[in-house]
Amino acid sequence: MFVFQKKRKPKHQKTLSAMPFNEELSDDLSENEKIVTKIFHNCGDFIVRPIQINGKPKILMFYLEGLLDTKNLEIVMLKPLLFQGLPEGLGEITSLKQIIDQNLIPGSSFKTVSKLEKLVEGVLKGELGIIVDGEKNALLADFKGMEQRNVAEPATEVTIRGPRDGFTENIRVNSSLIRRRIRSTRLKLELLTIGELSRTDVAIAYIDGIAPESLLKEVRSRLSRIEIDGILDSEYLEEFIEDVPYTPFPQIQNTERPDIVTANLLEGKVAILVDNTPFALIVPMTFWSGLQAVEDYYERFWYTSFIRIVRYVLFNTTMYLPSIYVALTTYHPKLIPTTLLISVAAAREGVPFPAIIEALIMEFVFEGLREAGIRLPKAVGSAVSIVGALVIGQAAVQAGIVSAPMVIVVATTGIASFAIPRYNLGTALRLVRFPMLILAGIFGLYGICIGFIALTIHLVNLRSFGVPYFTPVAPQIPSDLKDVLIRAPRWADRYGPIFTFGRNKQRVDSGQMPSPERGGADQ
Amino acid sequence: MKKVFSLLICLVILTGCWDRKELNERSIWLATGWDVAEDGGVEISGQIVIPANVQTQGGGGGATGQGFFAISAKGKDVRDALQNMQAKLPREAFFGQRRVIFLGEELAKRGVKDKLDINGRSADVSLRTDIFVIKGGTAKEIITIANPLEKSPVIATLKEHQESGGRGDTAYLNFLTAANRDGITPSIPSIEITKSLEGKAAGKEKSPNPKLLRLAGVSVFDKQLKMKGFLNNEENRNILWVMGFLKKMTITIKDGGGDKSIDLRSIRSKIKPTFDKNGKPSFTVTLTGEGALTENNSGLDVTYADNLRRLEKEFSKQAQDHVQQTINKVQKEYRLDILGLGEILHRHHPNRWKKLKTNWDQTFPGTTITVQAKIKVKQIGMSGPSLLYRESEIKK
């Protein structure tokens, strides 16, 4: 790790920080126009629209094209001012106050700003700036209407049953998707701006009274420490605020589903929404939440419990199957049932490589196929699967370069790794698999045991915002185990996770198990 | 960080690739045979899998040729013989999957006490292995005989042993525990060469009437681990029943009015030692068995409970008599406690056993052993009387 720690160099000059504005707004309209056009010099999308009233330039409107709804602007602002004239009896417009007070503009959100900096910031956000002759203050009107993607089904987290809306790139839309699910004033959205140049909106979402104050404080302080030029995705934040940077395992959950965010908020966790990305962050994350899918909560608990156990098995398959295969065939063939061993031996007959090399080659090829499958344009995508299936799967076996059992093992492992609901946990596993394989190739089962112990030690040492990664298994919290290996029915799992939800609170009232004594429709 | 590195280095230095061996560098032995070599040493023979012939690869036609081959070499002991053998074997011998040990009859007669140590010493081999004495033959001979159903004939013998209710792959372990205790003398299942169709000359290997290996009862050893003789299959079953190893058995009553058979599945045995005034031990063996009536060639209608009870009594009587005869034979002919009654005594009366232990071999042949059998019919099958009988002939 010392590689990454360089000696402290003298601090670079900060090029990131916003340029300070020396000028101040004056009460002369033409003066102001000069100032504004100077600030937005060479910004091709900057548009200034002076409006004359009674022949004299009176109002100056300016905005960045594309960030606001021009059509709306024309109807709401320009038409009445230019063609229809002001309502009778109002006289001349002398102040900004008058515009608002006398409801001259039927816009929804206005604010008066006196500082040039605020004015510029507002315009950059997509608001309409209005300056009136003879006024030192300016007006910002909200006509935001950027082109954006519609709310659609999230591509990465698909369900059979359950809501189908996903986050978009617009933080306002995203927050509204959460707000629609929690119609309470206790749902709070604290706004921050991060990124010196990008000025990205970031919102900390939580439910007041449920999310622990200590966690909130930690989130706020970690976020406020970030100094960076721009934020393009929530992952940028993730790397700054996670507890242990040197681990392949994710300590912050991400999702593009508002229902997942809402469910976690109800459990007392905190979500971080970032503008321009559909992925929201949820802290703290535990290892087990990496193995829980949304659908677990939308299907009957029997099926969910079963599928969870399947997932745990697949998890271990991903981690250990190739290693165990290599270890058993090269070090401990005694442990394989005779008939199976003979089959494996027959398949390995004539394979030129040792099992460990064979496994590494195949794993490598599989990772390559997977990567190519994602990156290739859709039109060529099918070519990859054909090449993968035919060339790697069949031809290589027939040519005697790899053995058939190895192909089966690698394919099973690959499929198993995709059965893990959180994609970033799956990628971590795929990474860890390689050292495990090498350990198995050098030390056999002994190596796998060492790898297992080392991995377990590493995992239990991880923290996510102070919450141990293996909660509630280690440290063990019996009441929280109802949602780990199995999912208890909702009326039985009455409490939230202790680390975030706290004690002495309950989510579900007691005694709600349906039964004839509770009365039915016909009573 | 330094700690982690030193740990890693320790891992590499202190252990290492000590037994890394690819599967295609090993020759998988399924069986080892022991025979007497002319010079007094041993001749070791092995049955080795030919993996390429066992499995069909990629659907490219059926397997060609045998799935195994046999190899043998002489030496002073097993390792010596193996060293001699390695000169003609391109791959390292791997005994981890060895399922069966064959002992030639001649070797068994001369004694195996100073021959079989390697089976308990090597970390490679498993103690869970079947063992056979070859009745009237040598291991070398047996190890070449193919089985038409199983790719490896050795697995076939193991399965034969298990399917006929024997000790299966615990046979060697049983032999070992008997060999080093006072109250029991060892016995080893035996096997012989026969052919598919009885009474006809055996054909070639791929003919419909090939040579086969058949379970031939049990061989009796004395304390010096020298073989004293054989008991046949039926006697073997009776003895296993008393010892509690038997898993299934069919009893047939010979009856003028039509033979009847019962397939016993749930078989148990209980041995109770008692002492008379002089401190002379005697044993009561209680045998129980439950099973299905699988054949009833008589007109007896077994849907009637009375008939069934009578039938059960007949079966019990027959089992009782046969087991008693076998025990008497063991007591008189071999005078060796292969039933392990001494061990039973040891367990029930450890103090008395201390006195009896020293000359148990002399006491055993004169001990009274009473056998009681209780057989229950649990299922009678699809019909009451045989369907071939007319109404008037049926005994109700």
* B118 contacts: CB under 8 Å, gap ≥ 6: B77, B78, B79, B125
Please say which residue of B198, B229, B260 terminates a domain. B229
Q: Is the pLDDT of residue A262 over 90?
A: yes
With an 8 Å Cβ cutoff, are B28 and A341 in contact?
Answer: yes
- Could you tell me if A42 and A118 lie in one domain? yes
- Could you tell me if B163 and B44 lie in one domain? yes
Query: Nearest to residue A81, comparing CAs of A90, A512, A118?
Result: A90
Please tell me the distance from the alpha carbon of residue A261 to that of residue A271, in angstroms, as a whole number.
Answer: 7
B254 vs B227, higher pLDDT: B227
- Could you tell me if A187 and A66 lie in one domain? no
For residue B76, give Cα distances in angstroms to A519, B35, B79, B242.
87, 12, 8, 39
Q: Residue A406, Cβ neighbours under 10 Å: how many?
A: 26
Count of domains for chain B:
2
Residue B5 in domain: no
Nearest Cβ partner for B22 among A339, A354, A444: A354
Residue A479 in domain: no
Helix (H) or strand (E) holding A431, with range, is helix A423-443
Residue B378 in domain: yes
Structural domain for B310, as ranges: 232-396
Helix (H) or strand (E) holding A79, with range, is helix A79-79
Work out the minimum CA distance from A274 to partner chain B, whole angstroms: 37
Q: Residue A26, Cβ neighbours under 10 Å: how many?
A: 14
Q: Which residues of A55-67 are buried (b: 16+ CB within 10 A; e: fewer)?
A: eeebbbbbbbeeb
Q: Which of residues 103-162 of B touch A (CB under 8 A)?
A: 124, 126, 151-152, 155
Using a CB-CB distance cutoff of 8 angstroms, which residues of chain A are in contact with residue B1?
1-2
Work out the minimum CA distance from A212 to partner chain B, whole angstroms: 35
B364 vs A94, higher pLDDT: B364
What would the mean pLDDT of A428-457 be, rounded to a whole number? 91
Helix (H) or strand (E) holding A426, with range, is helix A423-443
**DSSP per-residue letters across A324-357:** HHHHHHHT-GGGS-HHHHHHHHHHHTT--S-HHH
- Could you tell me if B361 and B348 lie in one domain? yes
Q: Is the pLDDT of residue A108 over 80?
A: no
Give the model confidence (pLDDT) of A276-332 as tens digits.
999 999 999 999 999 999 889 999 999 999 999 999 999 999 999 999 999 999 999
**3-state helix/strand/coil string of B192-250:** EEEECCCCCCCCCCCCCCCEEEEEEEEEEECCCCCEEEEECHHHHHHHHHHHCCCCCEE
- Which ranges constitute the DSSP H helices of chain B? 2-14, 51-54, 78-86, 105-110, 118-121, 139-142, 153-163, 171-179, 233-243, 305-329, 341-348, 350-357, 360-363
Hey, what long-range contacts does B258-261 have (CB within 8 A, 24 or more apart)? B258/B296, B258/B297, B258/B298, B258/B299, B258/B300, B258/B386, B259/B295, B259/B297, B259/B298, B260/B293, B260/B295, B260/B296, B260/B297, B260/B298, B260/B300, B260/B311, B260/B314, B260/B315, B261/B293, B261/B294, B261/B295, B261/B296
What backbone phi and psi angles, to 5 degrees, belong to A213?
-60, -35
- Please give the structure tokens belonging to residue A370: 């997977």
Please tell me the distance from the alpha carbon of residue A378 to that of residue A263, in angstroms, as a whole number.
Answer: 34
What would the mean pLDDT of B342-361 be, rounded to a whole number? 91
So what's the pLDDT on residue A518? 74
What would the mean pLDDT of B324-344 be, rounded to a whole number? 93
Confidence of residue B105 (pLDDT cuts 50, 70, 90): very high
DSSP-derived pairing of the beta strands B26-36 and A463-464: unpaired
B104 within 8 A of B144, measured Cβ to Cβ: no
Burial environment of residue B222 by CB neighbours within 10 A (0 to 12, 13 to 18, 19 or more): middle
**Alpha-carbon dihedral B318, B323, B326, B331, rounded to 10 degrees:** -140
So what's the pLDDT on residue A16? 43
Residue B268 in domain: yes
With an 8 Å Cβ cutoff, are A346 and B52 in contact?
Answer: yes
Please tell me the distance from the alpha carbon of residue B105 to that of residue B34, in angstroms, as a whole number.
Answer: 10
A111 within 8 A of A4, measured Cβ to Cβ: no
So what's the pLDDT on residue A504? 78
So what's the pLDDT on residue A370? 85
Residue A190 in domain: yes
Please tell me the distance from the alpha carbon of residue A510 to that of residue A497, in angstroms, as a whole number.
Answer: 17
- Could you tell me if B289 and B344 lie in one domain? yes
Residue B117 in domain: yes
A109 vs A297, higher pLDDT: A297
- Could you tell me if A383 and A449 lie in one domain? yes
Place of tokens 């030496």: B75
By C-alpha distance, the chain A residue nearest B30 is A338
Amino acid at B136: G
* A260 contacts: CB under 8 Å, gap ≥ 6: A157, A282, A294
With an 8 Å Cβ cutoff, are A342 and B54 in contact?
Answer: yes
Please say which residue of A432, A461, A490 terminates a domain. A461
* A367 contacts: CB under 8 Å, gap ≥ 6: A430
- What is the longest distance spanned by two Cα atoms in chain B? 97
For residue A452, give Cα distances in angstroms to A250, A323, A445, B17, B119.
18, 11, 10, 19, 33
A334 — contact with chain B (CB < 8 Å)? yes
B356 — contact with chain A (CB < 8 Å)? no
Please tell me the distance from the alpha carbon of residue A269 to that of residue B219, in angstroms, as a whole number.
Answer: 74
Q: Is the pLDDT of residue A115 over 90?
A: no
Using a CB-CB distance cutoff of 8 angstroms, which residues of chain A are in contact with residue B124?
334
With an 8 Å Cβ cutoff, are A347 and B57 in contact?
Answer: yes
* A151 contacts: CB under 8 Å, gap ≥ 6: A165, A166, A167, A168, A173, A177
Sign (positive or negative) of CA dihedral A422, A424, A426, A432 = negative
Nearest Cβ partner for A398 among B51, B58, B126: B58
A130 within 8 A of A59, measured Cβ to Cβ: yes
Nearest Cβ partner for A338 among B15, B57, B99: B99
Give the model confidence (pLDDT) of A366-390 as tens digits.
888 888 888 888 777 777 777 777 7
- Could you tell me if B138 and B173 lie in one domain? yes
Please say which residue of A233, A263, A287 terminates a domain. A287
- Could you tell me if A344 and A202 lie in one domain? no
Chain centroid to Cα A278, Å, comes to 7
What would the mean pLDDT of B218-238 be, rounded to a whole number? 93
With an 8 Å Cβ cutoff, are B51 and A346 in contact?
Answer: yes
A115 vs B133, higher pLDDT: B133
Chain centroid to Cα A236, Å, comes to 10
Residue A308 in domain: yes
Q: Residue A237, Cβ neighbours under 10 Å: how many?
A: 23
Residue B198 in domain: yes
For residue A472, give Cα distances in angstroms to A457, B282, B391.
16, 63, 74
Q: Report the length, in residues, of chain B.
A: 396
So what's the pLDDT on residue B186? 93
Residue A329 in domain: yes
A333 — contact with chain B (CB < 8 Å)? yes
- Could you tell me if B66 and B174 lie in one domain? yes
Residue B72 in domain: yes
Q: Is the pLDDT of residue A75 over 60?
A: yes
- Could you tell me if B282 and B314 lie in one domain? yes
A443 — contact with chain B (CB < 8 Å)? yes
A341 — contact with chain B (CB < 8 Å)? yes
With an 8 Å Cβ cutoff, are B97 and A338 in contact?
Answer: yes
Count of domains for chain A:
3
A152 vs A28, higher pLDDT: A152
Please tell me the distance from the alpha carbon of residue B23 to that of residue A153, in angstroms, as a whole number.
Answer: 50
End-to-end CA distance of chain A: 70
A360 — contact with chain B (CB < 8 Å)? no
Work out the minimum CA distance from A398 to partner chain B, whole angstroms: 6
For residue A503, give Cα distances in angstroms to A284, A479, A496, A506.
17, 11, 8, 8
Residue A476 in domain: no
Q: Is the pLDDT of residue B270 over 90?
A: yes
A204 vs B162, higher pLDDT: A204
Q: Looking at A6-10, A149-153, A444-448, which range is the least confident one?
A: A6-10
* B264 contacts: CB under 8 Å, gap ≥ 6: B248, B249, B250, B251, B289, B290, B291, B375
ipTM, interface predicted TM-score of the complex: 0.82
Residue B8 in domain: no
- Could you tell me if A60 and A177 lie in one domain? no
Please say which residue of B173, B197, B229 terminates a domain. B229
Amino acid at A189: L
By C-alpha distance, the chain B residue nearest A337 is B97
With an 8 Å Cβ cutoff, are A329 and B1 in contact?
Answer: no
- Please give the structure tokens belonging to residue B280: 């002379």
- Could you tell me if B343 and B199 lie in one domain? no
Q: Looking at A96-105, A137-146, B310-319, which range is the least confident one?
A: A96-105
Residue A48 in domain: yes
Please tell me the distance from the alpha carbon of residue B371 to that of residue A345, in angstroms, as a whole number.
Answer: 51
Work out the minimum CA distance from B252 to partner chain A, whole angstroms: 36
So what's the pLDDT on residue A451? 92
Sign (positive or negative) of CA dihedral A239, A243, A245, A250 = negative
- Could you tell me if A78 and A223 lie in one domain? no
Place of tokens 């090399």: A357
B19 — contact with chain A (CB < 8 Å)? yes
For residue A198, give Cα distances in angstroms to A18, A229, B345.
10, 7, 91
Residues forming beta bridges with residue A467, ordered by sequence position: A464
A259 within 8 A of A297, measured Cβ to Cβ: no
- Could you tell me if B257 and B219 lie in one domain? no
Average pLDDT over all residues of chain B: 88
Structural domain for A68, as ranges: 29-141
- Could you tell me if A104 and A137 lie in one domain? yes
B65 — contact with chain A (CB < 8 Å)? no
End-to-end CA distance of chain B: 89
Q: Is the pLDDT of residue B34 over 50?
A: yes
Confidence of residue A523 (pLDDT cuts 50, 70, 90): very low
Please tell me the distance from the alpha carbon of residue A439 to that of residue A204, in angstroms, as a whole number.
Answer: 43
So what's the pLDDT on residue A297? 92
Q: What is the CA radius of gyration of chain B?
A: 26
- Could you tell me if A451 and A336 lie in one domain? yes
By C-alpha distance, the chain A residue nearest B21 is A330
Place of tokens 């601090």: A11
Work out the minimum CA distance from B142 to partner chain A, whole angstroms: 20
Residue B354 in domain: yes
Burial environment of residue A463 by CB neighbours within 10 A (0 to 12, 13 to 18, 19 or more): middle
Residue A128 in domain: yes
Confidence of residue B278 (pLDDT cuts 50, 70, 90): confident
Average pLDDT over all residues of chain A: 85
* B52 contacts: CB under 8 Å, gap ≥ 6: A346, A349, A350
B49 — contact with chain A (CB < 8 Å)? yes
So what's the pLDDT on residue A11? 55
- Please give the structure tokens belonging to residue A377: 């344009």
Q: Is the pLDDT of residue A255 over 50?
A: yes
SS3 B49: strand
- Could you tell me if B268 and B348 lie in one domain? yes
Place of tokens 């009232």: A509
Sign (positive or negative) of CA dihedral B211, B214, B216, B219 = positive
What would the mean pLDDT of B347-357 be, rounded to a whole number? 91
Residue A90 in domain: yes
- Could you tell me if A274 and A332 lie in one domain? no
- Could you tell me if A76 and A205 lie in one domain? no
Q: Looking at B96-105, B145-154, B354-363, which range is the least confident one?
A: B145-154
- Could you tell me if A360 and A261 lie in one domain? no
Size of interface A-B (CB pairs under 8 A): 80
Q: CATH number of the domain that B295 lies in?
A: 3.30.300.210
- Could you tell me if A51 and A185 lie in one domain? no
Please tell me the distance from the alpha carbon of residue A359 to that of residue A321, in angstroms, as a whole number.
Answer: 11
Residues forming beta bridges with residue B285, ordered by sequence position: B271, B371
- Could you tell me if B160 and B299 lie in one domain? no
What would the mean pLDDT of A223-251 be, rounded to a whole number? 93
- Could you tell me if B208 and B273 lie in one domain? no
Q: Is the pLDDT of residue A418 over 90?
A: no
With an 8 Å Cβ cutoff, are A333 and B26 in contact?
Answer: yes
- How large is the angle between the packed helices A404-418 and A423-443, nearest 10 degrees? 150
Please say which residue of B177, B206, B229 terminates a domain. B229
- Could you tell me if B220 and B335 lie in one domain? no
**DSSP category for residue A42:** T
